[in-house]
Amino acid sequence: MKVLVVGANGQIGKHVVSLLQDSDNFDAKAMIRKQEQVSYFEELGAETALVDLEGEIEEIAKAAEGVDAVVFTAGSGGHTGKDKTVMIDLDGAVKTVEAAKQAGVKRFVMISSFDTRRKAIQEANESFAPYVAAKHYADEWLKDADLDYTIIHPGFLTNDEGNKKVTFGMDVEAGKVPREDIARTIVASLENDSTVGKEFQVVGGNTPINEAIKSV
């Protein structure tokens, strides 16, 4: 299975590409924005596509041609303004969904925010609410897109080494989770059709990922 990783140069994205390339079942295509990022992914043996997520849908669709799945890991980051939140976390996500449809790619895995329900928007503080709202509407757009989607809602992301153990659910207590284990959850979701049409929160826990994924 060839997988287009959107946001491949991000912290989760790099883990995903590495895991896909280490697998016997996958090949990664890294969608990146800058030429200087190419060599990192070429050294992993991954194909690359130079595309600006703030560009046109057709450019993303071209990158998605010939792949079997799209993984959206892009994010504006915590140090950008509301403008980038709209352009990346909402508009970029929606354009990627539409690009997948144009390219005929049915499988789509979205990395969202921990809780994007209406109540979470209402309860978020003033600076965080726009981000939650952007993720909420991107998630809803994906759900209505007639794709084989999986939406993953990670807890507080850390750069700790992953231990391949998590807790899944839709009302789990907020907690930390290593980015590496979110990447493993993405790959496990691609390997298990039981995650199609599902969304779930992920935090650190005691259940092996490959076992937890079967309960989704």
Question: To the nearest whole number, what is the mean pLDDT of the chain?
Answer: 95
Which CATH architecture does the domain made up of 2-157 adopt?
Answer: 3-Layer(aba) Sandwich (3.40)
* pLDDT confidence tier of residue 81, bands split at 50, 70 and 90: low
Instruction: Catalogue the active-site residues.
Output: 131
Q: Cβ(99)–Cβ(64) under 8 Å?
A: yes
For 176-203, letters b (16+ CB in 10 Å) and e give: ebbbbbbbbbbbbbbeeeebbebbbbbb
Q: Cβ(43)–Cβ(18) under 8 Å?
A: no
Q: Cβ(21)–Cβ(27) under 8 Å?
A: yes
**Separation of alpha carbons 61 and 40, rounded Å:** 23
Is residue 71 helix, strand or coil?
A: strand
Kindly give, in sequence order, each residue whose CB lies less than 8 Å from that of residue 76, ignoring residues fewer than 6 positions away: 84, 85, 87, 88, 89, 131
Above 60 in pLDDT, residue 114?
Answer: yes
Question: Residues 154-165: what's their mean pLDDT?
Answer: 96
Chain segment 29-80, per-residue pLDDT in tens? 999 999 999 999 999 999 999 999 999 999 999 999 999 999 999 987 655 6
Residue reference for tokens 């895995």: 109
Any idea where the domains of the chain sit in the sequence? 2-157
pTM of the entire structure?
0.95
